[in-house]
Amino acid sequence: MKTESVLEKVFASGELAVTSECGPPRGAVPDKIIEKAKMLKGYVDAVNVTDNQTAMVRMSSFAACVFIKQLGMSPILQMVTRDRNRLAMQADILGAYSHGIDTMLCLSGDHPHFGDHPMAANVHDIDSVQFVQMIRDMRDKGKFQGGDDILNPPKMFIGAAANPFADPFELRVARLAKKIKAGTDFIQTQCIYNIDKFEKWMEDVRDRGLHEKVNIMAGITPMKTVGMAKYMKNRVPGMDVPDEIIKRMAGVPKEKQPEEGIKISVEAIERLKAVEGVKGFHVMAIEWEQKVPEIVERAGLLPRPAIDL
Amino acid sequence: MENFEPVIVAFCCHYCAYTAADMAGSQRLCYPPNVKIVRVPCSGKVDAIHIMKALEKGADAVYVAGCLEGDCHFKNGNIDAAKRVAYIKKLLDEIGIGGERVEMILMSAGMGERFAQTAADMTEKIRKLGPNPAKSTSMDMASNNL
Amino acid sequence: MITAERKPMEELIECLRPYHRILLVGCNECVTVCSAGGRKEVGILSSALQMAFMKEGKTLEVKEMTLERQCDPEYIEELVNQIDQVEAVMSMACGCGVQEIARRFKAKPVFPAVNTEFMGASERPGVWAERCQGCGDCVLGLTGGVCPIARCSKRLLNGPCGGSTNGKCEVDPDIECAWQLIWDRLKALGLEERYEENIAAKDWRTSRGGGPRKIIREDLVK
C-alpha cells in the first residue's frame, strides 16, 4: 500500500469502489458543505470536493475537505493547475496532508472564460500530467519539485481525470498512458452516457494493459430533465449524449423525468459492472446529492466496506 | 447657415462611374454643381487617406463610385473600395464627424440617370445634415470662393 | 511580427487634449506589416486627430514622420530636429518604440497610439494570429512545429485537455486546439510515439517570470 487512503484500501480489497462529489458554497458558509456531505455518509467510500469549478470562486477545496474529514468521512482534494503555481500547490498539499487528507484529484481546470472572473490571469505553471508527477515524487522520493527534501513527505493517493469522449478520440488512450506514466493511481472518467463508445475505449485501454496499471472509475451523472439532457448534449464540450437518452427522457411526462434519469443511471452502472477494468463508480449528482444514496442502493453497490479511517 | 452649399467630392472610376457621368452630360441631365468629380482608374485606387484628406480640407461629404458587383475592370477593386469606405465610416463615427458623410455607390457605364440622381440625393442629404463639423470658419470662406 | 491595434479615438483625443503641436511617429517594420502604425496609418490618424480638434473649434498641428524602426537608438536620433518644435510625441510603434522615444527625449511627454498585442504571423491578408510567447526555451522541435505555450489556452505541455471539441478550443470555436494541431503534425511526420513522452514542468526563468530579460552579445558590444 502506498498510502493510508480509504480508496486505495477498497481497490486493494477487490470490491468496486464508490465515490461522489460535493461543490463547496459560494461564500463562507461551512454548513452547506457539511449538509451535502452528510447525505453521502455511508453510501460512498470517499467524496470529491471540487476546486473553483467552472472557474467560479467557491470556498477552497482544502477548507471544505477539512470539514468533511471532521465528519469522519474520507475527502478527495481536487486541485486545478489554473489558479495556483507549484509553490502554492505544494504548500496546500502539505497543509491538507497535515489535516489527514490523503487522496487527491489533479486537473487542469476550466478556463476562466467560463467563470465569474474572466479577467483573472491563468496560472498553469504546470499542467495536470506534471502535477501528478510532482505529487508522486513528493510521496515516493520525499522531495519538493525543486529538489529539496521534505520533512514527513505527504503520502497522497493520486487521481486524475479521463474523458473518453473528448476529441481527438484517437488520443484518449495515449493521454491515459501519459497520466499513468506520470504516476496516477486512480482515474475518474467524465460522465458516461454512450456506453458503446466507453466500451470501445476500455477495449483499447485493455489492449495496452493499462487497466491493470491504474484503477478506473466510471463517471455517472443522473439526468434530472430532458432539458438537462439536451443542454449536456449540445452545450457542454467533451460530452457525448446519444439520441436514445434524449428520446427516453422526452418520452415521459415532466414529473416522471427525474425517475427516468435515475433509472438510466442505474442501468448504466449495471452494464458497466460487466466491463473488465472498471474498478468503481464516481457518481456526480450536481445539486442533486440527495439522490446519490438511492442510486448507489438500486445499483446494488451497498453496503460499502467498513474501513477504519 | 441658411445658404449652406455642401461641397461633395466624388471619386469616380474611369470605366463605369466617370463614363456614367459623361453619359449624364450627353443626355443633358442636370445634377448639382456641389459634386466635384475626381476621376480615378479604378475605385480600388481610392485609399482611406484620400477620403480623410478630402474631408480634412473642407469637403462636407465624399462618395466613391465604382462598377457594379462582378463588373470591375480590375476584378475586385470595387469590393476593396467598399471595405475601405466601411472602415472610414466607423472611424468618422468615432471622432464625431459622422460616417454618413462617406458612401460607396455602384453603377454601370450606361447609368447616366443613376449618376445624376446620386449626385442630387447626396447633395440633399448633406444639405440637411449640415456642414462638416471639422470645417473652421476660415475654411468655410475658402470653400465658398470655389 | 509584433502586432498592434490602434487605440480607440476617444482615448487618443483625450490624452492629446492639452496640446497644440505634436509629432506623430510611425514605424516601418512590424506595425506597418499589420497595418497599425506605418506611414499610411500615420496619415490617416493625423487627419482624424486634426478633424476631431477642429470639430471642437481648436487646432492641432501634427508633424508626421515614419522611422525605419523605433527600437534602435540610431533611428530615434532622427527625431532630434523636430522634437523642440512640438509639445508632445505620439508614437504608433509597439511598446518598445514608445519607450525608446521616451528614454531619448526625457523632457517630452510620449503617448502610445496603439495597443501592442502579440508576436504573431499572418494567417491571410488582414488576419494575424498569436504564435509565440517568447518563453525563452523553445520546444517547437518536440511538438511538430506548433507551440503549446502560445497556442494552447491553458499552455499545457501535455495536452489536450478534456474540452477539445472537433479540433477547436473550449474557450472559443474560432481558436484551434493547439494539441489537435500538434497531434496532426506528429502523425504527418510519423512521430506518434513522441506524444506519449511526458514533457517535464517548464522552467519559467527563461520567460518573463524570471524578470525583464536582456541579451548580451559580447562579440558585438561596443
How far, rounded to the nearest angstrom, does the alpha carbon of residue C184 sit from its chain's CA centroid? Answer: 29
Answer whether the bond into residue A75 is a cis peptide, omega within 30°: no
pLDDT digits (tens, 9 = 90+) for A142-189: 999 999 999 999 999 999 999 998 878 888 899 999 999 999 999 999
Q: What angle do CA C94, C100, C105 make, to 5 degrees?
A: 130
The C residues from 19 to 78 touching B (CB cutoff 8 Å) are 40, 43-44, 47-52, 54-55, 57, 59
Option in B52, B135, B136 nearest C47 (CB):
B52
Q: Of A231-235, A272-276, B135-139, where does the model show the most confidence?
A: A272-276
Residue B145 binned pLDDT confidence (cut-offs 50, 70, 90): very low
Tell me what the mean pLDDT of segment A254-278 comes to.
95
Q: Do A113 and C154 touch (CB under 8 A)?
A: no
Residue A308 binned pLDDT confidence (cut-offs 50, 70, 90): low
The A residues from 225 to 254 touching C (CB cutoff 8 Å) are 237-238
Which parts of chain C sit beneath pLDDT 70?
Answer: none
Q: What angle do CA B115, B118, B122 make, to 5 degrees?
A: 145
Q: Kindly report the backbone phi and psi dihedral angles of residue C111, in degrees, each rounded to the nearest multiple of 5, phi listed first.
A: -120, 145
Task: Quote the cell numbers at residue C58.
Answer: 481648436
State how far residue B16 is from chain C, nearest Cα, in angstroms.
27
Q: Do A86 and C165 touch (CB under 8 A)?
A: no
pLDDT value at residue A182 = 97
Pairing relationship of beta strands C127-132 and C61-67 according to DSSP bridges: unpaired
State how far residue C52 is from chain B, nearest Cα, in angstroms.
6
Option in B47, B48, B96 nearest C55 (CB):
B96
pTM above 0.80, yes or no: yes
Do A39 and A293 contact (CB within 8 A), yes or no? yes
Quote ipTM for the complex. 0.89
Residue A126, chain C, CB below 8 Å: the answer is yes
Option in C161, C170, C198 nearest A181 (CB):
C198
pLDDT value at residue B3 = 82
| Cα atoms in the 13 Å half-sphere on the side-chain side of C129 | 13
Pairwise CA distance, residues A34 & A44, whole Å: 15
Pairwise CA distance, residues B115 & B117, whole Å: 6
pLDDT value at residue B143 = 47
Residue A110, chain C, CB below 8 Å: the answer is yes
Q: Kindly report the backbone phi and psi dihedral angles of residue B37, in degrees, each rounded to the nearest multiple of 5, phi listed first.
A: -90, 135
- CA distances from residue C11 to A29, C2, C17, C113 in whole angstroms, order as listed: 44, 22, 10, 9
Q: Kindly report the backbone phi and psi dihedral angles of residue C74, in degrees, each rounded to the nearest multiple of 5, phi listed first.
A: -60, -35
pLDDT value at residue C164 = 87
State how far residue A130 is from chain C, nearest Cα, in angstroms.
6
Mutate to test the interface with C, among A89, A107, A126, A188 (most CBs of C within 10 A): A126
Give the H/E segment covering residue A293.
helix A292-298
Residue A259 binned pLDDT confidence (cut-offs 50, 70, 90): very high
pLDDT value at residue B142 = 46
Residue with cell 479511517: A309
Three-state DSSP class for A56? Answer: coil
pLDDT digits (tens, 9 = 90+) for C81-130: 999 999 999 999 999 999 999 999 999 999 999 999 999 999 999 999 99
Question: Measured between beta carbons, which residues in chain C are less than 8 angstroms from residue B56?
Answer: 47, 50-51
Mean pLDDT of chain A: 95
Do C129 and C120 contact (CB within 8 A), yes or no? yes
pLDDT value at residue A170 = 84
Option in C157, C164, C198 nearest A166 (CB):
C164
Which residues 6+ apart lie within 8 Å of B138 measured at CB?
Answer: none
Q: Do C167 and A167 touch (CB under 8 A)?
A: yes
pLDDT value at residue A309 = 56
pLDDT value at residue A238 = 78
Q: Do A167 and C172 touch (CB under 8 A)?
A: no
- CA distances from residue A152 to A77, A172, B128 in whole angstroms, order as listed: 19, 36, 84
Option in C8, C13, C51 nearest B56 (CB):
C51
Tell me what the mean pLDDT of segment B69-92 comes to.
96
pLDDT digits (tens, 9 = 90+) for A227-253: 999 999 988 877 899 999 999 999 999
Three-state DSSP class for A37? Answer: helix
Answer whether the bond into residue C73 is a cis peptide, omega within 30°: no
Which residues 6+ apart lie within 8 Å of A232 measured at CB?
Answer: A223, A239, A241
Pairing relationship of beta strands B61-66 and B35-40 according to DSSP bridges: unpaired
Do A145 and A134 contact (CB within 8 A), yes or no? yes
The A residues from 130 to 169 touching C (CB cutoff 8 Å) are 130, 133-134, 145, 161, 163, 166-168
Nearest-10 Cα torsion for A252, A256, A261, A264: -70
